[in-house]
Amino acid sequence: MKNCLKYFSATILCLLLGANQALIADETNPWDQAYNSVTKERFIPVELFTGGDWDGKHELSLKEVSMTACASSGGKPCDNYHISGPFKTESNDTKIEWAGDEIEYYRRTFNNRRTGMVESYFTINASRDGLVRIYDKRKRWGARTYNGLGSKFPLGYWKEGEVRVYPSREPTRIEIIELDGPEHCLKFRWTIGDGKSRNSDNIYTFCPRVGFTNVDHHDQP
């Protein structure tokens, strides 16, 4: 009888330990490991842009996703941004040589109150440190294609305050404003050209499992 009780107690203990380990595993947040306090760097994955689940691996790839984020500007009601993909182009008409003959991309659409429906294609850029638009269509200027040398969203390893400039059609500049904010959100400033044209100098916020949350149109001095 004593042996049976010992066996039963050991079984219960194993079950409890197993359940506790499973609970700890479930509570592990890969976003906690994205920032390195020694190097002061953060790895920014594609999933921060899409709002999709991230496995914690420091790799850049376009995984299947279909998400809708709601981003606001200046306290106005938020606009819905839908991202889906990845899809593939029929040919590579950009300067993203590493991508080969076809380019994987995400399709993002949103309905802007001022300009109407906007459709854009995003992929990893030529320098593999950002996401870049390779196609954009909107009522204001019709359809446009891009060479892939710029950047719209930082990827890979970045530091607080870091600035990078890209040789796109008009020079593009990205500056990290807040690398690892509350809830591991990222805030950065994106400027194209001299930043004086409408919607060419913006501060964006993206958050894990959500994606795009806010844009502030930066006022020029």
Ranking 23-27, 45-49, 115-119, 182-186 by mean pLDDT, the lowest is: 23-27
Percentage of the chain exceeding pLDDT 70: 83
Structural domains of the chain, count: 1
Query: Does residue 8 sit within a domain?
Result: no
Residue 177, pLDDT above cutoff 90: yes
CA distance 209 to 54: 8
Q: Tell me the mean pLDDT in the region 102-125.
A: 91
Q: Tell me the mean pLDDT in the region 10-17.
A: 44
* DSSP assignment of the chain: -HHHHHHHHHHHHHHHHHHHHHHHHHH--GGGGSEETTTTEEEE-HHHHH-----S--------EEEEEEEBSTTPPPEEEEEEEEEE-SS--SS-GGGTTS-EEEEEEEEETTTEEEEEEEEE-TTSSEEEEEEEEETTTEEEE--S-S-SEE-EEEETT-EEEE-SSS-EEEEEEESS-GGG-EEEEEEETTS-STTSEEEEEEETTTEEEEEEEPPP-
- Looking at residue 217, its pLDDT comes to 84
Residue 182, pLDDT above cutoff 90: yes
CA distance 48 to 12: 41
Q: What is the mean pLDDT of the chain?
A: 86
Cα–chain-centroid distance for residue 47?
5
CA-atom Rg of the chain in angstroms: 22
Residue 21, pLDDT above cutoff 70: no
Instruction: Look up the pTM and report it.
Output: 0.84
Query: Does residue 197 sit within a domain?
Result: yes
Retrieve residue 58's tokens: 């420091």
Tens of pLDDT along 151-162?
Answer: 999 999 999 999
Percentage of the chain exceeding pLDDT 90: 69
Q: Tell me the mean pLDDT in the region 29-41.
A: 94
Query: Does residue 103 sit within a domain?
Result: yes
Q: Tell me the mean pLDDT in the region 164-175.
A: 92
Query: Does residue 4 sit within a domain?
Result: no
Contact 174, 203 (CB under 8 A): no
Neighbouring-strand partners of residue 204: 188, 215
Say if residue 48 is exposed, middle or buried (CB neighbours under 10 Å; 0-12, 13-18, 19+): buried
Query: Does residue 58 sit within a domain?
Result: yes
Residue 109, pLDDT above cutoff 70: yes
Give 24's pLDDT tier (boundaries 50, 70, 90). very low
Query: Does residue 11 sit within a domain?
Result: no
Q: Tell me the mean pLDDT in the region 159-185.
A: 95
Query: Does residue 107 sit within a domain?
Result: yes
Give 195's pLDDT tier (boundaries 50, 70, 90). low
Query: What range does the domain containing 199 cover?
Result: 33-217
Give 189's pLDDT tier (boundaries 50, 70, 90). very high
Q: Which amino acid is at 153?
A: F
Query: Does residue 93 sit within a domain?
Result: yes
